[in-house]
Amino acid sequence: LASMKINYKFSVLVHGEPTEQLKQGVYVAVPTNGIRLWKRQRISKEKQHNNKDGNNDLAILSSELDLDGSLFIQCQDTFHYGEGNETISTLTVQSRHDDGRLANIISYSLRKLGYPVVNDRFAKKEFAALPRRMRNLLKQKVCICCHCIDIHVEGSITNVQVDAHKRTQCSYWRGIMPLP
């Protein structure tokens, strides 16, 4: 089934206010330096060496990339809460990268771009800054979910779609949080 392609669509709740560029939609190459060691063994030694020497930062590109090796990230909604500049945003992330653990790759990429996923284990400081009501409702659940899969097989498309989980949507938090 070499002609089969699967397009995944995720809904993600992140900390921070997105830039105008992110609101329009950007492409980010899937990082290879964040992949677990046992996955890296399939990558050539030369590519491993280049990743160790260089760049931990991810490049945001507005030009279209092939979704097989990249993520398309677009902001859907933002919500300002509290008295300061606290903001959470709902992002939609699409990719055809099919090497496993795509949610981990998305979380890693967003963290490197400066938008940690709400309740990610590497975003404890941001989680602690959330209002108590939000923290109590989130419990131990990371705010990322795959809600749409498009399967392309020899010209036919099969779509499997469910509603995105409410905890990944700013509209849900806007409805239950008091206005500042």
133/136 Cα distance (integer angstroms): 5
How many of the other CB atoms lie within 10 Å of CB of 14?
30
Q: 118 and 33 in contact (C-beta within 8 Å)?
A: no
Q: 142 and 107 in contact (C-beta within 8 Å)?
A: yes
* Full pLDDT tens readout for the chain, 180 residues: 567 888 899 999 999 999 898 898 888 888 766 555 444 444 444 444 444 434 445 666 656 667 777 889 999 999 988 777 789 999 999 988 877 788 888 999 898 889 999 988 888 888 888 888 888 888 888 889 999 998 888 888 888 889 888 888 989 988 888 765
Residue 136 tokens, joined: 């109590």
63/136 Cα distance (integer angstroms): 40
* Cα angle for residues 25, 162, 130 (degrees, 5° grid): 60
Residue 79 tokens, joined: 């919500």
Residue 26 host element (H or E): strand 26-29
